[in-house]
Amino acid sequence: MVGARPNFMKVGPVWKAIAARGALKQKLVHTGQHYGPKMSEVFFSDLGIPPPDVHLGVGSGTHAEQTAKAMLALEPVFASERPDLISVAGDVNSTLAAALVAVKMEIPLAHVEAGLRSFDRTMPEEINRVLTDRVSDLLLTPSPDADENLLREGTDRSRIFLVGNAMIDSLLQSLDRALATGTLEAMRLRAREYAVCTLHRPVNVDDPRALSRLLSTLIEIGRRLPVVFPVHPRTRRTMEQSGLLAVAEVERGLRLLEPMGYLELLALTSRARLILTDSGGLQEEATALGVPCLTLRESTERPVTITRGTNVLVGTDPARIMKEVERVLAERDCAVRVPELWDGKTGERIAALYEEWLGRKAT
């Protein structure tokens, strides 16, 4: 089950591994929480995922509206299909919606990317993560810290399976194709001589004052090296309404783009000198790619990207951000130890686990 842009890179490897093994029948349900060519459709083609068997067209709305609409749309689908297992990924509203419907209908549930915690309850994703984990039968974790979080919360160890990071499967499977897109050449960029930025978290982009501070910092960075900034629809809306878009558009060092497809963005991030982001997924991808990453948040649910990877949590204070930018630009190499099981084989491990678990359930 997928719903939003972050889901596709986690679901794709699992789908392909199950299909290749041929032992299980699967159907892909897309709630349509994210929609449109650049936020949804392009990911199916970029990742080699077939079109969804069911597309519910939930669309946008408040967190309550999205979750409620997804639940109402999913219930008849689950009732009709009556699956032996529902697999959800990540922490978006559609993930929680599917989890709640599944548990109410007494259908077994597996959560891919379970156990991640930022310990910040003001993040809607944190609520989605905690609640989905509570009702899941199988908790598939990407790193040992996620196992520790679940055990600390009293989760039975028999429900926890350390399988690795499915997003890294997608990255490794797609990197050569991404580099062959010619994205850098088309944008007249040189490898390791530009930064990439993404911003979409409400705390960063909904308040024009907060967004203005970050944009001012990006403009300052852009005077040192080009900053490529694919603008999320939510971010663009605030920029347009507040007049910040007109200010940013005249800055030559800040390249504002429409949202990018997976391969296009991967082509940019894989050769960047620096990534600035509030995205959880990009923190992980930066670690796998060995690219320095500055996370524009006060907390992260992916601490392994700090302890083992390239990530530094810098918050949103301009002085702190610029200090870390200067440090990165002064360093020649970025030390990284890619976490165990981030090896491109997570989808295969999950497919094998599903087969084994369903086989035991059937006997």
Q: What is the pLDDT of residue 256?
A: 98
By the 10 Å C-beta count (0-12 exposed, 13-18 middle, 19+ buried), 279 is classed as buried
**Confidence grade of residue 336 (pLDDT, cut at 50, 70, 90):** confident
**Confidence grade of residue 250 (pLDDT, cut at 50, 70, 90):** very high
68 pLDDT more than 70: yes
C-beta separation of 281 from 167 below 8 A: yes
Q: What is the pLDDT of residue 50?
A: 87
Q: What is the pLDDT of residue 34?
A: 54
Please report, for residues 196, 242, 274, 294, 350, the alpha-carbon distance to residue 227 in angstroms, rounded to integers and kept in the order given: 6, 21, 9, 13, 37
Q: Is 201 left (phi over 0), alpha (psi -120 to 50) or beta?
A: beta
Angle between helix axes 5-21 and 166-179 (nearest 10 degrees) is: 100
Q: Identify the CA nearest to 239 among candidates 224, 257, 253, 252.
A: 257
Note the pLDDT tens digit of each residue in 175-210.
999 999 999 999 999 999 999 999 999 999 999 999
- Residue matched to tokens 């558009």: 249
Among all residues, which ones are annotated catalytic?
A: 200
Q: What is the pLDDT of residue 265?
A: 96
147 pLDDT more than 60: yes
45 pLDDT more than 90: no
**Confidence grade of residue 38 (pLDDT, cut at 50, 70, 90):** low
Q: What are phi and psi of 35, to 5 degrees?
A: -145, 170
Note the pLDDT tens digit of each residue in 115-124.
999 999 999 9
C-beta separation of 316 from 277 below 8 A: no
**Confidence grade of residue 37 (pLDDT, cut at 50, 70, 90):** low
Question: Can you say how many angstroms the Cα of residue 24 is from the centroid of all Cα atoms in its chain?
Answer: 26
Specify the higher pLDDT residue, 103 or 361. 103
**Confidence grade of residue 40 (pLDDT, cut at 50, 70, 90):** low
Q: What is the mean pLDDT of the chain?
A: 94
Q: Identify the CA nearest to 278 among candidates 251, 301, 254.
A: 301
CA 52, 54, 59, 63 torsion: positive or negative?
negative
Token representation of residue 198? 């993404």
What's the rounded mean pLDDT across residues 263-281?
A: 97
Cβ neighbours, 10 Å, residue 175:
16
Range from 33-47, 168-182, 240-254, 348-362 carrying the lowest mean pLDDT: 33-47
Domains of the chain: 5-165+342-362 (3.40.50.2000), 173-330 (3.40.50.2000)
What's the rounded mean pLDDT across residues 4-21?
A: 91
Q: What is the pLDDT of residue 61?
A: 85
Token representation of residue 116? 């991640």
363 pLDDT more than 80: no
Question: Can you say how many angstroms the Cα of residue 109 is from the centroid of all Cα atoms in its chain?
Answer: 20
Q: Identify the CA nearest to 270 among candidates 235, 234, 228, 299.
A: 228
Task: Quote the CA–CA distance of 108 and 91 in Å, as a whole number.
Answer: 18
Q: What is the pLDDT of residue 161?
A: 98
By the 10 Å C-beta count (0-12 exposed, 13-18 middle, 19+ buried), 311 is classed as buried
Q: What is the pLDDT of residue 33?
A: 63
**Confidence grade of residue 44 (pLDDT, cut at 50, 70, 90):** confident
Q: Which amino acid is at 354?
A: Y
39 pLDDT more than 90: no
Please report, for residues 33, 56, 218, the alpha-carbon distance to residue 69 in angstroms, rounded to integers and kept in the order given: 10, 9, 37
